[in-house]
């Protein structure tokens, strides 16, 4: 199976959760948001969100400053 994150393809196993995928990338959940099909997934839903083949994800980094 593969998913697309910010226009880059990643191979994942079936039944991979969003939280497991983020962890596999070495990312910490603080300061980021993930959208699936342009809809942001609340962090408390990451562990319950199962990724599907060809799913498109967008990673958004929070930036502070002004």
pLDDT in tens, 2-59: 999 999 999 999 999 999 999 999 998 899 999 998 999 999 999 999 999 999 999 9
- Provide the CATH number for the domain around residue 41: 3.10.20.30
Beta bridge partners of 3: 10
Q: Identify whether 45 is part of a domain.
A: yes
Q: Identify whether 38 is part of a domain.
A: yes
Question: pLDDT at residue 61 above 90?
Answer: no
> Cβ atoms within 10 A of the Cβ of 34, count?
23
**Domain that residue 27 falls in:** 2-61
Number of domains in the chain: 1
Which single residue is written with the structure tokens 């942001």?
40
Backbone angles phi, psi at 4, to 5 degrees: -115, 120
Question: pLDDT at residue 66 above 70?
Answer: no
What's the predicted TM-score (pTM) here?
A: 0.89
Q: Identify whether 66 is part of a domain.
A: no
Q: Confidence band (pLDDT; 50, 70, 90) for 62? A: confident
Q: CA 9 to CA 47: how far, in whole Å?
A: 21
């Amino acid at each position: 199976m593969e998913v697309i994150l910010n226009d880059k393809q990643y191979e994942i196993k079936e039944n991979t959760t969003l939280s497991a995928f983020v962890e596999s990338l070495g990312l910490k959940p603080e300061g980021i948001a993930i959208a699936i099909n342009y809809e942001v997934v609340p962090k408390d839903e990451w562990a319950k969100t199962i990724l599907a083949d060809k799913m498109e994800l967008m990673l958004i980094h929070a930036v502070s400053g002004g």
